[in-house]
Amino acid sequence: MAERLTCLTVHLPCGSLELRHVAGQRAKVIAAGQQGPAGRLTPEAMAQVEQAITAAETATAQAQTAVASVNALVDDLTSSFTFYGGAIAAQEPMS
């Protein structure tokens, strides 16, 4: 890759000054290979996507199960609280 040279000439009353600067590389090749059509993923990338989808579906199912368990627990606790509250109220003498 050829280096980019940037030149800037500054004209001053006492003369001219030329500044030269070698610009750094703007792009780096991180992998070499053949590029497929736009929008197409490699088989490895598709496998990762499919694994992520499967993991997300599993997590969703587990979260739904956990929500159902928590809802059942809250219902049971509410019923117990109501029952024992009523039992305590029934034991109190009427004034």
Distance of CA 56 to the CA centre of its chain: 13
pLDDT per position as a tens digit, 3-41: 677 777 888 778 887 878 777 666 666 666 676 676 777
d(CA 30, CA 45): 17
In the structure, what pLDDT confidence band is assigned to residue 77 with cuts at 50, 70 and 90?
very high
Residue 85: count other Cβ atoms within 10 Å of its Cβ.
10
Residue 37's SS3 state is: coil
Sequence ranges of the domains in the chain? 5-90
**What is the DSSP-derived secondary structure letter of residue 9?**
E
- For the entire predicted model, the pTM comes to 0.48
Kindly tell me the sign of the dihedral angle through the C-alpha atoms of 45, 48, 53, 54.
positive
d(CA 33, CA 35): 6
In angstroms, the Cα distances linking 49 to 30, 33, 89 are: 22, 21, 59
Query: Is the pLDDT reported for residue 81 higher than 70?
Result: yes
pLDDT per position as a tens digit, 42-62: 888 889 999 999 999 999 999
